[in-house]
C-alpha cells in the first residue's frame, strides 16, 4: 500500500515573529499619523472657512453701509489703524454681521436693515461656533479661541502684517510690514499661540 506523506510545515522562528510584529507596528503608526494629519487639516479648513466668512461679511458690510461694523474705529498713534478686534464678546461685531439687534435697548444699532452678512452655527463644547447665549455673541474657532480681526480704519488700503513677528523664520523672513487688504482675519491655530507656524490666516493660501 502506498502511504501519503503530509507536507512538512515550517514553524515561524522567533526572529521572523519579531520582524512581522515590527512591520505591523510601523504600518499601524503610519496609519495613525495619517489619520491625525487628516483630522488636523480638516480642522484647519473649517477654521479658514469661518474666518473667510468673517472677512467677506465685514467687507460687504463696509460696501453697503460705508463704515465698519463696530462702534469705535479710533485710530492709534501717528494715524495708524485701530487696534486688533477679537470675537470674544467684547464688541458687537458678530451680532452686527448676523443682523441681530443690539443686546441692550440703549445700544447702537449698527445694522438697522437687519441684513445678514454672515451666519455661524452654535458651538460644540465651546468650539467652532457661537458660544453660549450671552450677548454680544462670542465666536470661537475649532480650538475654543476667538478670531483676530484687523481693519483698515485709516483708509490706506492696508493693515499691519502679523507675519512680520511670526516665530517661524520661514514665514517672517522677507515679509512686508503691511498686507494690502482692508480686512485681515486669523486664528491662533491648534497650539493656541499667536504668531506661530500653525496660525490659520485669511491672507495665506492655506
Confidence band of 16 (pLDDT split at 50, 70, 90): confident
Q: pLDDT tens-digit profile of 174-186?
A: 999 999 999 999 9
Q: Would you call 55 exposed, middle or buried from its count of C-beta atoms within 10 A (0-12, 13-18, 19+)? A: buried
What is the value of pTM for the model shown?
0.82
pLDDT of residue 169: 94
**How far is 163 from 138, CA to CA, in rounded Å?**
25
Is pLDDT of 1 > 70?
A: no
Q: pLDDT tens-digit profile of 145-179?
A: 999 999 999 999 999 999 999 999 999 999 999 99
Q: What residue segments make up the domains of the chain, in order of their start?
A: 43-201
Neighbour tally for 138: CB within 10 Å: 19
Question: What is the rounded average pLDDT of the residues 127-143?
Answer: 95
pLDDT of residue 32: 67
Is pLDDT of 35 > 80?
A: no
The residue with cell 495708524 is 80
**How far is 75 from 81, CA to CA, in rounded Å?**
5
Amino acid at each position: 500500500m502506498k502511504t501519503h506523506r503530509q507536507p512538512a510545515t515550517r514553524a515561524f522562528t522567533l526572529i521572523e515573529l519579531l520582524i512581522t510584529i515590527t512591520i505591523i507596528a510601523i504600518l499601524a503608526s503610519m496609519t495613525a499619523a495619517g489619520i491625525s494629519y487628516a483630522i488636523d487639516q480638516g480642522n484647519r479648513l473649517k477654521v479658514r472657512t469661518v474666518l473667510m466668512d468673517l472677512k467677506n461679511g465685514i467687507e460687504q458690510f463696509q460696501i453697503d453701509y460705508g463704515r465698519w461694523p463696530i462702534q469705535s474705529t479710533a485710530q492709534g498713534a501717528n494715524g495708524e489703524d485701530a487696534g486688533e478686534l477679537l470675537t470674544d464678546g467684547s464688541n458687537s461685531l458678530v451680532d452686527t454681521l448676523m443682523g441681530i439687534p443690539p443686546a441692550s435697548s440703549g445700544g447702537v444699532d449698527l445694522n438697522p436693515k437687519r441684513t445678514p452678512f454672515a451666519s455661524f452655527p452654535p458651538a460644540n463644547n465651546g468650539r467652532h461656533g457661537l458660544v453660549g447665549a450671552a450677548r454680544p455673541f462670542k465666536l470661537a474657532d475649532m480650538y475654543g479661541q476667538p478670531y483676530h480681526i484687523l481693519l483698515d480704519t485709516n483708509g490706506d488700503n492696508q493693515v499691519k502684517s502679523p507675519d512680520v513677528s511670526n516665530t517661524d523664520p520661514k514665514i517672517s523672513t522677507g515679509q512686508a510690514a503691511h498686507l494690502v487688504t482692508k480686512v485681515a482675519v486669523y486664528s491662533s491655530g491648534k497650539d493656541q499661540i499667536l504668531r506661530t507656524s500653525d496660525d490659520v490666516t485669511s491672507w495665506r493660501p492655506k
